[in-house]
Amino acid sequence: MALYDISGQTMNKVYAAVGTELSNAWDVNGTPLANPYASYYAYWKFANGDSSNTTTVKNLVTNQDDSILVGIDGSTSGYLTDEGLTLSATSGIRIPITNDMPDDISVFMQIRIPDEAYANQTPLRDKSFLSFVKGNKNMLAPSIEKYSHAWPAIYGVTEGRTTETNVAWRYDTDAEGNKLNHSGMWWTGTQLTQDANLVLCGDGSGKYRMADIHSSNWSFSWEFPIYAGSDYKYPGFTSYKDACDAIILGNRADMQHAIPGAVLIAAFIVEFKS
């Protein structure tokens, strides 16, 4: 479908505010085009940015600049590539949690892992992809475990507790404490651009999953609740709106656990519908 502006020139990109028609764009039949992102709560694309912009990114749903960049300096982190937003170890995206967010939420992000980090492996250990936080505490943070670059882990506060703990995918259990014996690597050196998706429902259920962007299937999917023995249940909450005050992309609550050189390509939030 070709798009034309009011002067008849072909248009490459079209954005609009939620619920509005584009006043200067029509399809070839002359029909006004609505915002293609209107069904999302929020949608951000980080490609082709400006390294001088260290604070905001355009929300394609509202067509407004969101002040959600944290620790971006335009030198070691920022819009330094055409691909997306480059992270340093201390940078990321912090999205405030508000009452108008979906009760059943799906958070998606696409991230490129640098080849050097994978080759060295150490820079990947104990790093996080996204986190639901309360202040400086991680309530639920899908991550990479401390001792291997190839295994998922969950950091967070378990049910009935106030301090953070963690469990690796290879050590988790069922509700009775029986080990589930997960095995296998979740990516390889040829699968470094990954889709990550966290779903949280109002009843405490949900899932965390990742996949190489060229794969037709998720490379792994971790269903909530997750147990580390019968006494440790993740997440430790049902309503994320009651338990958390922000969503962090690319890091954890202390902003010390991003993968240096990783590139955030895009992210969105949408209502989860089973």
User: Which SS3 state, helix, strand or coil, does residue 169 take?
Assistant: helix
**What is the chain's length?**
274
At 240, phi and psi to the nearest 5?
-65, -25
Q: Where are the beta strands (DSSP E) in the chain?
A: 21-26, 32-34, 42-45, 57-59, 64-66, 69-70, 85-86, 92-96, 105-112, 130-134, 137-144, 152-157, 164-168, 193-200, 206-212, 220-224, 226-227, 233-234, 246-249, 263-271
Q: Cα 125–84–4 angle (5° rounding)?
A: 155
Q: Which has the closest alpha carbon to 50: 79, 88, 75?
A: 79
Give the single-character DSSP code of 240. H
Which residues lie below 8 Å from residue 120, measured CB to CB, with a gap of 6+? none
Q: What Cα–Cα distance (Å) separates residue 218 from each residue in 31, 140, 192, 271?
A: 38, 20, 14, 20
Residue range 206-246, pLDDT digits in tens: 999 999 998 888 888 999 999 999 999 999 999 999 999 99
CA 231 to chain centre: 28
Q: Which residues pair with 168 in a beta bridge?
A: 153
Residue range 159-184, pLDDT digits in tens: 999 999 999 999 999 999 999 998 87
Of the options 3.40.50.720, 2.60.120.200, 1.10.357.20, 1.10.1300.10, the CATH number for the domain spanning 37-271: 2.60.120.200
| pLDDT value, residue 175 | 97
| pLDDT value, residue 22 | 38
Residue range 184-209, pLDDT digits in tens: 777 788 889 999 999 999 998 999 99
Integer Cα distance of 30 and 59 in angstroms: 27
pLDDT at 7 over 60: no
pLDDT-wise least confident of 5-14, 32-41, 117-126: 5-14
Mean pLDDT, the chain, rounded, equals: 88
Q: Which residues pair with 172 in a beta bridge?
A: none
Domain boundaries, the chain: 1-36, 37-271
| pLDDT value, residue 92 | 98
Residue range 77-120, pLDDT digits in tens: 999 989 999 999 999 999 999 999 999 999 999 999 999 988 99
Entry pTM? 0.87
| pLDDT value, residue 240 | 97
Which residues lie below 8 Å from residue 228, measured CB to CB, with a gap of 6+? 158, 165, 166, 167, 171, 172, 173, 234
Q: What Cα–Cα distance (Å) separates residue 274 from each residue in 101, 217, 236?
A: 17, 17, 22
